[in-house]
Amino acid sequence: MSSELFEFVSESVLFDGGQIEHQYRSLSERELERELEAYRTLQLANSPAGKKCVRDNSSTLKLFTGSTDPVYGLLKQSALYLDQVVIADPVFHFTHQWSEHAKTMNEFIGLKSDGALNRLKLARSAQYLIDLRPMLQAGFVIMLPITVLFEPPKEIPYRASLNGFSDVLPEPLLDFYRERAIVEAVKKTDHGMIIDGSNEIGRAIHIRFQDHLGEDARGYLLMEQIVKSVDEKTRQIETVQYMPESSPDKARYDAWVYQSINQTAEHSYKRLLLENTLAAGFGASYLCTTPFTFELLEQFFPDEQTIAENTVNSLLRFDLPLMEQIDVSTLMRIRNEDGETFQNFRNELDRLFRELRLVADPKELKIKTENAWHELSNVQVANVNQKVKHLESQLRLSIVIGAAGLFGAIQTGGFSLIAAGIAVAQGYKSYKEYQFQQRQNPSFFLWKARRK
């Protein structure tokens, strides 16, 4: 955590406890916008140093996630077992200035006055950042303004499709999204638009995916349009859009839902591709924050190769003790001053993981994975369990010992459509060329915690 950011968090009203508690009730919209503008300038200026810090860390126990949803529990649980976690700045995306078109649409759907800035969500994100401060100061968590890459353009492009956008992704991938799509009706009330959870036919819907976070969810309005003028020389048209009181017929509604699901899937996949590209650039494994993304990454490979030939989906699947009721400052002190046993575990896991990521043959990888599992579970995990019991006695705390499952996968041979996209995004002609240059197989993790 840079000294400039530490100073800003200490002095800015954005991170004042009283303001957060009351959701910035005493501040005007313009006052909040000025603080957010200052925060944006600071974080963009600090971003190069943060990226360098990540790239300078050669550990294979680095994870990256572009999600702004809080992963505080995960970070706390994994703090003794991972070297570094790179996350998206949870406050930065509030610094984006909406276009006049977006503001007009917000007002149209009932988000007037302060509607463009969700103060409740901002307050929660600011508190999340404050809670992360010990981890940021310890260098365990690196926070970057990732969401600047996801900001919409000022001018929203007009898109149309004759096939309902059924060609935006390969069919098997679209099927994966469609099977998990949840479509809910949205109703307009005196307080704005609400998702009522029904599938009633209407002109407003919300689409999300099962076992997935809301960042990839999207809302859609089925409006009517009248063309007022067409200028053939400038290739510009002027239209008027309005929302009828009546619902569309079922055929039109079904077609609209179909194309909306496809567009939401396209958005989700492009985000996943970009996040994996960033992870590869940082030399980090991709952290799946939901079972949805882990399952997607496991399943999709080039047609000529099968999943069985290319994945080891239980590379790391063992329980690690975690301490749920210990404060994060004490946890960071243990990591930095009394964490030799955990450091030994990380060093051994790093060594074994580095070796496994260089294996290209799936059968060889399976054998080496089993050997690595045996070595870690019989020696290193046993030492960790003993150290946790000692800490419980030493700190005189009633530490609730849970069980954290670290699920990891390394892809060999061909990779998924994701990796093919990464190769193209980074300028390689083929995935094989990308793989040769990287000299390491891509990997990803899903962290699960449960009580014993």
Instruction: Tell me, yes or no, whether 146 and 236 share the same domain.
Output: no
The pairing of beta strand 285-288 with beta strand 62-64: parallel
Instruction: Tell me, yes or no, whether 222 and 317 share the same domain.
Output: no
Give 73-84 pLDDT, tens digit per residue. Answer: 888 888 888 899
Residue 406 within a domain: yes
Task: Report the first-to-last Cα separation within the chain, whole angstroms.
Answer: 35
Half-sphere exposure in the Cβ direction for 224 (13 Å, CA)? 8
What pLDDT score was predicted for residue 416? 53
Q: Could you tell me the two tokens for 231?
A: 């200028």
Instruction: Tell me, yes or no, whether 299 and 250 share the same domain.
Output: no
**Degrees to nearest 5, angle at CA 338 with 342 and 1:** 85
Select from 269, 295, 328 the last residue of a domain: 269
Q: Could you tell me the two tokens for 317?
A: 């699947």
Q: Could you tell me the two tokens for 302?
A: 């080039």
Length of the chain: 452
Residue 106 pLDDT greater than 70, yes or no: no
Residues 399 and 325 sit within 8 Å (Cβ to Cβ): yes
Give 128-175 pLDDT, tens digit per residue. Answer: 999 999 999 999 999 999 999 988 877 777 788 999 999 998 888 899
Residue 161 within a domain: no
Residue 276 within a domain: no
Instruction: Tell me, yes or no, whether 38 and 135 share the same domain.
Output: yes
User: Rounded to an integer, what distance in angstroms lies between the CA atom of residue 23 and that of residue 12?
Assistant: 14
Q: How far is C-alpha 390 from the geometric centre of its chain's CA atoms?
A: 35
What pLDDT score was predicted for residue 290? 87
Select from 215, 244, 269 the last residue of a domain: 269
Residue 398 within a domain: yes
Give 230-244 pLDDT, tens digit per residue. Answer: 988 888 888 888 889
- CA dihedral sign, ordered 65, 68, 71, 72: positive
Residue 260 pLDDT greater than 50, yes or no: yes
Select from 241, 269, 297 the last residue of a domain: 269
Q: Could you tell me the two tokens for 303?
A: 């047609």
3-state secondary structure of 79: coil
Instruction: Tell me, yes or no, whether 177 and 203 share the same domain.
Output: yes
User: Rounded to an integer, what distance in angstroms lies between the CA atom of residue 262 and that of residue 336?
Assistant: 47
Instruction: Tell me, yes or no, whether 88 and 201 share the same domain.
Output: no
- The whole model's pTM is what? 0.84
Using a 10 angstrom Cβ sphere, with 0-12 exposed, 13-18 middle and 19 or more buried, the burial of residue 233 is exposed
- CA dihedral sign, ordered 334, 338, 343, 345: negative
- The more confident residue out of 290 and 193 is 290
| % of the chain beyond a pLDDT of 90 | 40
What pLDDT score was predicted for residue 93? 93
What pLDDT score was predicted for residue 56? 94
In DSSP notation, 152-185 reads PPSSPPP---SSTTTTSS-HHHHHHHHHHEEEEE
Residue 100 within a domain: yes
pLDDT confidence band for 102 (50 / 70 / 90): low
pLDDT confidence band for 308 (50 / 70 / 90): very low
Task: Give the pLDDT mean for 421-435.
Answer: 58
pLDDT confidence band for 312 (50 / 70 / 90): very low
Residue 323 within a domain: yes
Instruction: Tell me, yes or no, whether 31 and 84 share the same domain.
Output: yes
Instruction: Tell me, yes or no, whether 116 and 184 share the same domain.
Output: no
Residues 361 and 412 sit within 8 Å (Cβ to Cβ): yes
Q: How far is C-alpha 142 from the geometric centre of its chain's CA atoms?
A: 14
Lowest average pLDDT, out of 55-64, 91-100, 272-281, 375-384, goes to 375-384
Give 190-231 pLDDT, tens digit per residue. Answer: 766 788 888 899 999 999 999 998 889 999 999 998 988 998
Residue 317 within a domain: yes
Instruction: Tell me, yes or no, whether 129 and 262 share the same domain.
Output: no
Residues 119 and 23 sit within 8 Å (Cβ to Cβ): yes
Residue 165 within a domain: no
In DSSP notation, 36-48 reads HHHHHHHHHHHHH
Instruction: Tell me, yes or no, whether 34 and 128 share the same domain.
Output: yes
User: Rounded to an integer, what distance in angstroms lies between the CA atom of residue 79 and that of residue 76?
Assistant: 5
Instruction: Tell me, yes or no, whether 94 and 232 share the same domain.
Output: no
Total structural domains in the chain? 3
Residues 250 and 200 sit within 8 Å (Cβ to Cβ): no
Residue 436 pLDDT greater than 80, yes or no: no
Instruction: Tell me, yes or no, whether 299 and 400 share the same domain.
Output: yes
Q: Could you tell me the two tokens for 8?
A: 């800003």
What pLDDT score was predicted for residue 424? 57
Give 373-423 pLDDT, tens digit per residue. Answer: 777 777 888 888 888 888 878 877 655 555 555 566 665 544 455 656 666
Domain holding 192, by residue range, is: 171-269
What pLDDT score was predicted for residue 430? 57
Average pLDDT of the chain, as a whole number: 82
